[in-house]
Every structure is written in structure tokens, then in C-alpha cells.
Structure 1
Amino acid sequence: MHDRKGLPPAAWLVLGAMAAILAIAVNLGPTAAGLGWEAAFTAPDPADQTAVLFYYSQLPRLAISLVAGAALGLAGALLQQVLRNPLASPTTVGIEAGAQLALAVALAFFPVLLGWSRDVVTLSGGLAAMLCVFSIAWRFGFSPLVVMLAGLMIGLYANACVTILALTHDHYLEGLFIWGAGSLVQQDWRPVLALVPRILACSVLVLLLMRPLELLQLDEAAKGLGVRIALVRTAGLGLAAALTAFVASTVGVIGFLGLAAPAMARLLGARRFHQRLVLAPVTGALLLTLTDQLLQLAETWTGVFVPTGAVTAVLGAPLLLVLVRRLPAAASSLAANSVAPLHRARSPAKLLGGIIVLTGAVAVFSVLLGRNTEGALVFVPLPDLELLLPWRLPRTLVAISGGIMLAIAGVFLQRLTANPIASPEVLGISSGAAFGVLAALFIAEAPGFAFQAFCATAGALAVFVVLMTLERRSGGSGERLLYSGVAVGALLTAVLAAIIATGDPRARLLLQWMTGSTYLSDWRTAWTLSAIAALALCAAPLFTRSLTLLTLGDVSARATGVNVRLVRLSMLVFTCTLTAVATLAIGPLSFVGLMAPHLARRAGLVGTLPQILGAATLGALVMTIADYFGRIAWFPWQLPAGIVATLIGGPVLVIFLLKRQGKAA
């Protein structure tokens, strides 16, 4: 069945194939016509540079785009069938991020493994990341949105690890970001000849499993038909991971293609699994080939190189937004009331006082204890304190201020959306601020702090406007707001990655800032951010009553006289502003806004105001520790505080979520 007013599904597929063929003809036609089509089947004369380029670069690139696109389309169809999740793909379940991290670790520490088998390295990383995602998602019943959120969170953590390795081993990992963006550039036929038999072998195994995989949708009834469900699921997931790893080890990360191809196959009329097994690889091959050929034409006209994988990620993120918003409400439930209640502190004031004292002690300790010129940890002698204070205290104040602002923003977002996974990082507001900083770098030759802050705030508010528009269309659902934010954040992150991959010097400055370093902080920046953080602490209690009532539901809040839309609007503007300023200070790659509210609740600060104050103090504590370890761990080099906070907070947050959901179960 199809819409009578539109084209039939087969017509759309034919149009897509014709568009791909047209792009190939425009891109390769002039060269092939000049050489003769027989040049595609015979080795060229080494003296003929045009023929060499055509035979050893352009043709292998065309071939590998077809093979890689088909493989990722097949992998996406497998994952969606096994997990019964329309959002499942190599990107959203973390396989690609895990493969990139494994390759970075091997390049930095175990290069001999790459000589032994690059495929095994990427496959091991992909499987490890996928297992981490599933270990989180299975406690939530493998809800589609939980799988996606867990995958993106694991991806963020893996990217943070890769960034740390890139900063500390830049001489080994110079080309990793190009590889991570998915470059299809080829220099001979060897990658194609190595990839094709691997993909064919996996495809044959998939065909052998097609019948059992199709029966999985019968659930328990499949057991009565003799299907060993656990074994079939494991085999399907393993084959999907293998297909993805083989492609990633050859050409890098091709973002979101494994999500787009099966989705388009469904739109083209492939309702049953065996139909998607055929149509998803065909669609994936056409999508990747068309994108790559158009990029080659654009590079010819503009001279700007952009990796193909970065562009597929930019195109795939809006599709993620569409798919998320089409999910039924039951499939997307991750409400806070599904989490077991925690104990309430008997004396919140005493507990808060203790946390504040601990944070102050750690801050003083971080200023006084550091490394000397020989690398030894020593306390600063009092005569030298005045000399070192301008170098250590401003960055500590910046870290504290950024942690306070992100933590307050995290509490507001989690309570507004009634969702324990909401945060500035997940909701895409941090990515919007990062995009604003990128605009500042391109608009002004040497943008100052004030102009960067203005652009960052504008970017965060722009994301906020988009989210509010989408929320209004979905009837004011807090959960839908969260999921829309995830998709918008993925889109902006993909755009940033594509711009960084172009090699523009201004984009390289953005990469340095995105790591969240505080080592360039001065007194002016420190006092400015401290003042903003202090104002945020004073303003947050003004929202306490409304925030508590909104947590009980919009109906209850309206019954007490709260203007729900106006209050939610003012809170989100407040949150966006705090996020923008904090992101400017410590970068967008921090888990503080996600982790600090959970730490406060875990400590027993359950009430709205105690949680706000406790999260702010704990956020400051986490960022102070992160900044200190970033200063001393790789001396004399500096590790960015935002990245270190991610490395510290990621595992802690996952453990807390698993424990809490385990109690709820």
C-alpha cells in the first residue's frame, strides 16, 4: 500500500538510483570519456597521471562507497530486527564509537595489533561499547529511547577518551579525526579487495539466519517453533558488529547511515524483514554513493575537502529527530517515577555544610599542592605563593563556577522533563553554545570573552527556540522535549565534526576549546564567571516552588495558579544562559550537568532547594578535582578539565543509574 497521490515506492528507488548514476556520470564521465571506458578494466600507463588517478583512486572510491553503504544498511537492518527498535543502528548503539576508541588505543600503545589485524581491533572495540550500552538498557526493558540515550552517552565518553589520547599522543593520532569522520579516499584497489569477501561472508551468514531472525518478532511463540532465541539474537548482533567493524577499519566512521538506510527501506514499502534485508543494503549503497559523488563535485568546485562520513552524520541526525518523534509514548518512557526513591537526609543543612567545607578544602589543596620544575608533588612555600597564585587560583575559580552553573542547569532540566537522563549535554544546549562559539571564531578575527559569551548564549537560545517549537507541536511533553534535544544535539555535533574535519585553522581552535581546558584563565575571566555563578545561586531559589509543582505534573501546577507555559519558558531561558556561559568556560564535553544532580540525590538531598544547592556544590567539587588532576597527571602538559570530568563522571553516573534501576525492579 502507498499513498495514491504520491509516487509508488519502487519509483522512489528508481529515482534514487538515477540520481546516483547521474552524479557518477557527471563526476567520472569527462575523465572516462577522455580515456575510454576500457580504462576501467585495464591497468593504466604509469606516465598517464589522469589514467592513474582514474584507475587507482576514483574507481576504487566508487566501489568502496557501494560496498560500505550496503554493509552498513545491512547492519542497521539486523540491529533493528534483533532489538525490535527502529532507532537501533551502529551509531546509536555505540559500535562506531567503540571501534574508534579501540583504534586510537592501538595506535597509541599497541601498534603491533594493527599489523596483526585491524579488523579484530575495531570489532573488539565495537562489541565492548555495544555491551556497555546493553548493560544499561536491559534494566529499562530495552526501551528504544533508552538504547539511543545510552548509546549516545557511551559515544560521548568514548570520544572524550579519544580526545585525551589525541592530545597526549598527537604524533601518532594526527589522522585519527579524519578517519573518525569517515573518508572514502582511496589510493589503490587493496582496501576494496579486502573488504568485499568479508562483507560477502557476513551476508551469507545473515541469509542463513534470515528465517530464525524473522521469527524473533513472535517472542515466546518462537520457542515453540524451535528457535533458540538467545543464540539467534547473539549471532545477529555479532554479525551487525562485524559488518560495522569491517567498514570502520577500512574507511572510518560513516555516521547514521545504518539508521537512514533501513528507515528509508521501510518508507519504500519494505514491511517484512526479508524485504528490508534486500532493500536496506541497496538503499545504503545508493545513499553513500550519491553523497560521496556530490562531495567530489563540490570539492572540485570549491577546493574544500569534507569527509563523507561527516556529511552522512549531518544528514542522518534530522532523520533521527523524525524517527524519535514517531515513537509511541510507551516506547519512549524513561520517567523519573520509574526510578526507586532514595533516602532523604535527616539534616540537609548539615550535609550541605559538610559538602561545602569539603569543596573549599579541596580547592585550597589544589592551589597549594602542585608539581615543581622536577615533576615532584610539593606544597607551595609561603614566599612563592604570591607568584603561583595568579596561575592556579583563576583556573580553580573558573572550574568551580562552571561546575556550579552546569549542575544547576542539570537539576532544572531533570525536574522539568521528569527524566533522570536530561542535562545540558544530552539536551543539545551545550552543542548549541559550541556552535555559537564557532560562529564567533568565523565572524571576528580575535573574538574576546564578551563576544564569545554573547555568541554562545545566542547559540544555546537558538537550540532552545527549536526545542520549544518542537515541544509545542508535541503537546508540551517534557519527554518529547528531551528526545528532540538529543536529536538536535546529534545534528550540531555532526556539523561541528564536519567543519573541524575540513582542517580550517579556526576549526582547530574550536577543537582545542571543546576539550574544556581552563589553563588560559585569567583574573578577569575568573571574577566574571564567579559573579555569574553567585547570581545563579541567588536566583535559583526563586524558582523552587514552581519547579516543585511542575514535578507533580502540569495539571497539579495549574490547579495551584502556576502559569505553566510562562514558568517553563523562564526556567529554560535561565538554564540556557547558565549552560552557555559554563560551556564557554569548560567546554561542552562534560558530564557535570548530568552527574551532579544524581550525586546530590544519592547523598540524600531529595528536596528541590537542597538538591539545587547540593548539586551546585558537588558540581564545583567534581570540576575542581578534574582541573587539579588535569594539571598534574601529565605534567608538564595539561589535560583539559572538561574531558577529565567526563572520564571521572561517566562510569560513576552509569553505576548510579544501574543501582537505582535495580532497586526499582
Structure 2
Amino acid sequence: MTHPRILLPAAGLVALTLWLAAALQLLPLPLWPALPFSPGAMDLDQIRLAFGLMPRGFIALLAGACLGLSGAMLQAVLRNPVADPTTLGISSGAQLALVLATIHAPGLLAYGRWPFAMAGATLAAALVLGIGARRDFAPVTMVIAGMLIGLTASAVATAVTLAEGQYLLSLVIWNGGSLVQQDWSGVRALTTVLTVGGLGAAALARPLRVLSLGSEGARGIGLNVALVRLAAVAVSVWLAASVSAELGLIAFVGLAAPALARSMGARTIGQRLALSPLIGALILSVCDGVVLAVAGQSGEMFPTGAVTGLIGGPLLIWLLPRLRGSTPPGTEAAEGSAPRLRRPGTVLVALAIALVLLAMILIWIGRVPGGWAVLDWQSFRDFLPLRAPRLIAAAAAGAALALAGAILQRLTANPLASPEVLGVSGGASLGYATVVFAVAAPGAVALGAGAMIGAALALALVASFTARRDMPAERILLAGIAVSALSAAVLSAMMAIGDARSWAILGWLSGSSSGVGMPAAMALASVALILWTASLGMTRWLGVLPLGSEVASGLGLPLGRARLSLILLAGIATGAATMLVGPLSFVGLMAPHMARRIGLARPVDHVTGAALIGAGLMLAADFGARMAGFPYELPLGLFASLIGAPWLIWLMMRSPR
């Protein structure tokens, strides 16, 4: 372990230099207050230094150490090099619980934020571990489950934040992981947390070393494997939830610290548990120093957690080749063969008729101040111009997302693939946000182009990385989730600026069809129709690619051109749809899977059935978003994700056959 002798002191010197530069810019050294600090005897700059910048420097070290230790313990107990509080959804669960408490039960926060953060983190961890236990804690399965649950929790937290405008700025900045301090209470709290967590880690170091031999081997020498796992996860959750309660969501420090510890030569679990907290403390301190340096005299423009989030995506992609192979839930091998209809045309016609009838019913019925009502003929004619555009747009968006999902599932040979999972929606969000910040008063064409280009670039990034390494399908899913995490981190930094552009992006992220006119609706419907037609022209590729690259090459399929064409098609479909419904709806996951389960197995039938089912799901979501909170309208993307999240959890909780 020679590298730490050079790298760690160098990182510590960088962190100290950045903090000192910020402190000296605030107040020259001769004017620094002496201990003990007495606010009554200080001027404003001295108070800002003694009760703001100084505790901030300490809390960066403490929080980074807590997260580094939490990640190291999770990686040790799960034998998973990409496990950390972010990738397993623990931090997002704590974030959601705190957002809900802040908005709906602020009086309970008088007892502290820790109980809510702990409850949310524990529930998220229990969900992920429940899924993992059914798959023998396979590494890829655990991370896919954790990050999908984390994405869902973050989406719900964002939508709830949007619904309460008066909390918007503070919650957005807090969600990004701000280290701003006003006193020393946070330092005292995290000192206690780190002390307790460190003692727990020291007590568990030897059992974790035994567990590294494998579950069967550990049981054979008398180790209570279940108890050790429970204790290690409990300590990890305690550390991560405490940081979330104090500072908000700080991403990927727990992933980076153990990875760097291993690269520096820490081979044993004891060495990693000792070195990871130190590295985590330095990572967060350096990131916070960068934020302070960029802020300068103009004030802090984005939270430190947004900077640490930028580490996670590239690091997770870099770690992918080091994962052990595993079969994630949802693969063909795990689920068994799906039924195959002899006459799929009858089912497709029935789905099309049901879609038309559903649209007519949803136009005809609605809520009025006195309750539910069925429109008479004249009222129907009056309301048709108002309701028809949004229903057409919702159906078209659902069909486009379903088409993208069907294409991606066949491209990766994995029914868990979807635009949300493979980073396509995240890329579309980032493209949209880039146009909002780069172009003054951007129009619909510019925003749509930005979303489509971002979606295609994200998927191209995933495909180029995985194709070079000939990785199995589950690695492609994980690479896509990494791209989603990176996109979310950049968006968090953008939105934390807190101006009108942040509001515009946050409003778009939740999705709404209320402002869609007939020209825009027909344009989106035309895009969906063109994409469906194009996908029918690629049915041979869609039928052969799930068989594997070797079989496809042997059958003369132009792999490079086929993959690139399908990537562009899925990117365009996702970019067009997310313009309306936002980036997270899970329709692209549910609709193709439902089409397959009812027997639409052939590529033409699968793609067509998925499009019809996706249109129906989005019509139902649009109706629910309008009616559930009458007279106020809920975000369309949120309502669709609330339909998709239970489906996703059920799908991943199923035992393999």
C-alpha cells in the first residue's frame, strides 16, 4: 500500500488549501475570532467564519467518512463492488421520507429529521434486500433493483416538491446535498454517528472477513450469516440515513471511496474498512472546496452533492467489467418462455378497438364541482376540442415510449430494459435542460430537438461502451442506469441555481398534457406513426438480435448498422414522448412486457401490441392525473410512474422459475 502515502496527503493538502482560500477570502487571518466563540463579541464576517465555514469544513470530513464507511460495509457484506447507499436506493429512500415529512407533517420535524430519514432508508433497503434474497444477492440484480427504486423515490420526491411551490427552492437545494452550516450542531451529531458506526464496523470486521469466503463456507464454520448481514446493513443504513437527515442527498461517495481504497492496495476487508472513511472524507472535502472556489464572492450557486454525483456515473461504468456474472430478474432464462398466440391479429384488433372506446369514454365522462357527470351530446361537442388534443398527445406519447421500450428490450434481450432504465430518458432530460439554459426563450422545436439528441446520445454512449466489451445484457442495463445517474446529477446542479429556468425544468420533469394544442398533438401522433412504420421495417433485426451477436452475425445481420439504427429510433421515440410526459413514466417498461406476456411474441406483433398497450396506459394515466386531485391536476409523469412502480417491484420480486 504505497500509493496512499502520496495520494492521501496530497488530497488532504488540496482540500485544506481550497478551504483556507475560501476562509481567507472571507476574513484575513489576523481578524479570525479566538476560542471560545462568542457571537455577541463578533462582527458578521467573524460569525460567518466561526459558525458557517469552520463547521462546514468539519462536516464535509465527517459526512464523507460516514458515507465511505457505509459503502465499504455494503460492498463487503454483499460481495458487490458497486454497492453503496446511492446505488442501493438507501439515500433516495431517506430523501423521499424527509421531503414528505417536510411538506405534509412539518410539525413532526420538531423531534428531528433522523427518524424520518432512518425510516425511509430502512424501507428502501428492505425492498432491495428482499429482491436480492430471492436471487442469492447477485451483484447486478441488487444494483438494478436499488437504483430503480432510488429513481422512483427521487421522481416522487421531485413531483411532490413541485406541487408545493413555497418549498421549492429550499427543497431542491437540500435534495442536492448542500453543506451550508449555521452552527456546530451538525458536527456534533455526525461525530456521534461516525463513532457509533466505526465501533460497529470494527466489531463486524472479522465476521465480514469470514463471510467473504461465501455463504456456505461461512455457515460451515458456524457463522450466523443472516445476523451478520442484518447487522452490517443496519450500520450502513444508520450512517447513510444520518448524513441524508443532516445534509440531504450526497451521491456516490460511498461507491468511490472503497473503489479507490482497492486501487490503492487495500486487499483485506479490514484495510478497506479503515481506509474508505479517510478517502470518503477527502473526496467530499475536495468537492466542497471546489464548490467554495467556484462560488467566490458571488455566493454558492449549486450544492456540493451535485458535484459528487458527477463522479458516480463514470465510476460505475468503469467498475462494470469488474462485476461477477449473474442473471438479473426479468431475463429470459429467469422468467421462462412466454405464451405465443396462434392468431395474434385478433388480439391486436381487439386492443385497437378497446383503445378507441377508452378514448371516447374518457372524453364523455368527467368530474364537476358537484361530482361525476356524463356529458350530453351538446356538451360532448363543446368539450371535444378541449379534450381531444391532450388525449391524442397522451396516447401518442405512450405509444412512442412503448415502441422505444420494445426496441430496447429486443436489442438487449432483456425484458427489464426500458427508456427509463437505459438512460435514454435521462439523456432526453439533460438535452432539454441544456437548451433551456443555453437558448434564450427556446421554442418547442428547439426543446424537442434537444430532448431527442440527448436521448440518442445517451443510448449511443451505453451501446458504444458495452459493444466494445461484448458484455451480457444485464451489464447494458447497469451502464444505462449509470448514465441516468450522471444525467440526474447534472440536472441537480442546474436546478439548484433556483431561478425561473429551474422551475421550467422541474415542471417539465413531472410531465403534463394540459397545455397541448391540436397541432402539437397531431405532430406527436405523426411521429409515433412514423416510428411504428420504421420499426416494422426492422422486424428482421428485432427478431434476430435477441438470439445473440454470434447468431446474428452468422445469419448475415449487419450488427453495427442494425444497432445504430435501432438506437436512433429508440432515441427519437423517447425524446418526442418525454417532451410531453417527462422522463420517468415506466410505460416503456410495462407495455412491451405486457404485450409479451399475453402472447405477442413475433416482432411485428410485439411492437404493434406494445404501442397499443402503451397508448392505453398513458390515456388512463392522463385521466387519473386530471381526476384524482380535482379541481387541481396532478403531474402526468408522476401518475404514470405510480402505476409503473408497483408493477416494477412485483416484476422484480417474482421468484425465478
**TM-score, L = length of structure 2:** 0.95
Tell me the equivalent position of 1:636.
631
Q: Cα–Cα, structure 1 residues 574 and 224, in superposed 2: closer, same or farther, change >3 Å? A: closer
Tell me the equivalent position of 1:196.
191
Task: Note if 1:620 corresponds to 2:619.
Answer: no
What is the CA–CA distance in structure 1 between the aligned matches of 2:330 and 2:353, rounded to whole Å?
Answer: 35
What is the CA–CA distance in structure 2 between the aligned matches of 1:61 and 1:642, rounded to whole Å?
Answer: 37
CA contact (8 A) 1:35 1:51 kept: no
Give the deviation of 1:191 after TM superposition.
1.9
Work out the number of aligned pairs and report it.
656
What is the CA–CA distance in structure 2 between the aligned matches of 1:609 and 1:537, rounded to whole Å?
Answer: 10
CA contact (8 A) 1:45 1:52 kept: no
Q: Cα–Cα, structure 1 residues 458 and 587, in superposed 2: closer, same or farther, change >3 Å? A: same
What is the CA–CA distance in structure 2 between the aligned matches of 1:515 and 1:46, rounded to whole Å?
Answer: 49
What is the CA–CA distance in structure 2 between the aligned matches of 1:113 and 1:214, rounded to whole Å?
Answer: 41
Matches within 5 A, 1:405-416: 405-416=400-411
Tell me the equivalent position of 2:413.
418
Tell me the equivalent position of 1:142.
137
Q: Segments of 4+ in structure 1 off by > 6 A?
A: 331-334
What is the CA–CA distance in structure 2 between the aligned matches of 1:189 and 1:657, rounded to whole Å?
Answer: 43
Q: Give the letter for the 2:435 counterpart.
A: A
Tell me the equivalent position of 2:248.
252
What is the CA–CA distance in structure 2 between the aligned matches of 1:201 and 1:339, rounded to whole Å?
Answer: 43
Q: Cα–Cα, structure 1 residues 73 and 657, in superposed 2: closer, same or farther, change >3 Å? A: closer
CA contact (8 A) 1:402 1:620 kept: yes
Q: Cα–Cα, structure 1 residues 553 and 465, in superposed 2: closer, same or farther, change >3 Å? A: closer
Tell me the equivalent position of 1:264.
260
Task: Note if 1:590 corresponds to 2:546.
Answer: no
Q: Cα–Cα, structure 1 residues 99 and 41, in superposed 2: closer, same or farther, change >3 Å? A: same
What is the CA–CA distance in structure 1 between the aligned matches of 2:412 and 2:596, rounded to whole Å?
Answer: 16
Tell me the equivalent position of 1:282.
278
Give the deviation of 1:280 after TM superposition.
0.5
CA contact (8 A) 1:81 1:273 kept: yes
Give CA deviations for 1:409-461 in whole Å, capped at 9, x if unaligned. Answer: 11111111112221111111111111221122223322222222222222222
What is the CA–CA distance in structure 1 between the aligned matches of 2:32 and 2:637, rounded to whole Å?
Answer: 54
Q: Give the letter for the 2:580 counterpart.
A: A
CA contact (8 A) 1:160 1:589 kept: yes
Task: Note if 1:572 corresponds to 2:561.
Answer: no
Give the deviation of 1:582 after TM superposition.
1.1
What is the CA–CA distance in structure 2 between the aligned matches of 1:312 and 1:148, rounded to whole Å?
Answer: 19
Task: Note if 1:338 corresponds to 2:334.
Answer: yes
What is the CA–CA distance in structure 2 between the aligned matches of 1:648 and 1:492, rounded to whole Å?
Answer: 24
Match of 1:322 among 315, 318, 323: 318
What is the CA–CA distance in structure 2 between the aligned matches of 1:468 and 1:103, rounded to whole Å?
Answer: 36
Give the deviation of 1:257 after TM superposition.
0.9
Q: Cα–Cα, structure 1 residues 375 and 179, in superposed 2: closer, same or farther, change >3 Å? A: farther
Question: Aligned to 1:426, what secondary structure does the other structure show?
Answer: coil
CA contact (8 A) 2:169 2:498 kept: no
Give the deviation of 1:517 after TM superposition.
0.9
Match of 1:354 among 347, 350, 353: 350
**TM-score, L = length of structure 1:** 0.94
Tell me the equivalent position of 1:64.
59
Give the deviation of 1:38 after TM superposition.
5.9
Tell me the equivalent position of 1:534.
529
What is the CA–CA distance in structure 2 between the aligned matches of 1:508 and 1:566, rounded to whole Å?
Answer: 40
Range that drifts further, 396-405 or 169-178: 169-178
CA contact (8 A) 2:291 2:300 kept: no
Match of 1:116 among 111, 120, 132: 111
Tell me the equivalent position of 2:498.
503
Q: Give the letter for the 2:388 counterpart.
A: L
Give CA deviations for 1:31-90 in whole Å, capped at 9, x if unaligned. Answer: 564345662543244451111111111111111111111111110011001111011000
What is the CA–CA distance in structure 2 between the aligned matches of 1:657 and 1:356, rounded to whole Å?
Answer: 29
Q: Give the letter for the 2:337 counterpart.
A: P
Task: Note if 1:651 corresponds to 2:650.
Answer: no
Give the deviation of 1:543 after TM superposition.
1.2
Task: Note if 1:221 corresponds to 2:217.
Answer: yes
Match of 1:386 among 373, 376, 381: 381
What is the CA–CA distance in structure 2 between the aligned matches of 1:336 and 1:378, rounded to whole Å?
Answer: 46
Q: Cα–Cα, structure 1 residues 64 and 513, in superposed 2: closer, same or farther, change >3 Å? A: same
Give the deviation of 1:651 after TM superposition.
0.6
Q: Cα–Cα, structure 1 residues 319 and 331, in superposed 2: closer, same or farther, change >3 Å? A: farther
Task: Note if 1:184 corresponds to 2:176.
Answer: no
What is the CA–CA distance in structure 2 between the aligned matches of 1:499 and 1:147, rounded to whole Å?
Answer: 30
Q: Give the letter for the 2:223 counterpart.
A: V
What is the CA–CA distance in structure 1 between the aligned matches of 2:33 and 2:438, rounded to whole Å?
Answer: 50
What is the CA–CA distance in structure 1 between the aligned matches of 2:15 and 2:388, rounded to whole Å?
Answer: 58
Range that drifts further, 361-370 or 378-387: 378-387
Question: Aligned to 1:370, what secondary structure does the other structure show?
Answer: strand
Give the deviation of 1:539 after TM superposition.
2.1
Tell me the equivalent position of 2:236.
240
Q: Give the letter for the 2:203 counterpart.
A: L
User: How high is the sequence identity, in percent, across the aligned residues?
Assistant: 39
Question: Aligned to 1:371, what secondary structure does the other structure show?
Answer: strand
Match of 2:202 among 203, 207, 210: 207
Match of 1:363 among 339, 345, 359: 359
Q: Give the letter for the 1:255 counterpart.
A: A
Q: Give the letter for the 1:239 counterpart.
A: V
Q: Cα–Cα, structure 1 residues 477 and 211, in superposed 2: closer, same or farther, change >3 Å? A: closer
Give the deviation of 1:308 after TM superposition.
0.7
CA contact (8 A) 1:46 1:52 kept: no
Tell me the equivalent position of 1:273.
269
CA contact (8 A) 1:40 1:55 kept: no
Q: Give the letter for the 2:452 counterpart.
A: T
CA contact (8 A) 1:39 1:51 kept: no
Q: Give the letter for the 1:146 counterpart.
A: T
CA RMSD of aligned residues (A): 2.1
Give CA deviations for 1:382-404 in whole Å, capped at 9, x if unaligned. Answer: 22233322321111111100110
Match of 1:231 among 227, 234, 246: 227
Tell me the equivalent position of 1:438.
433
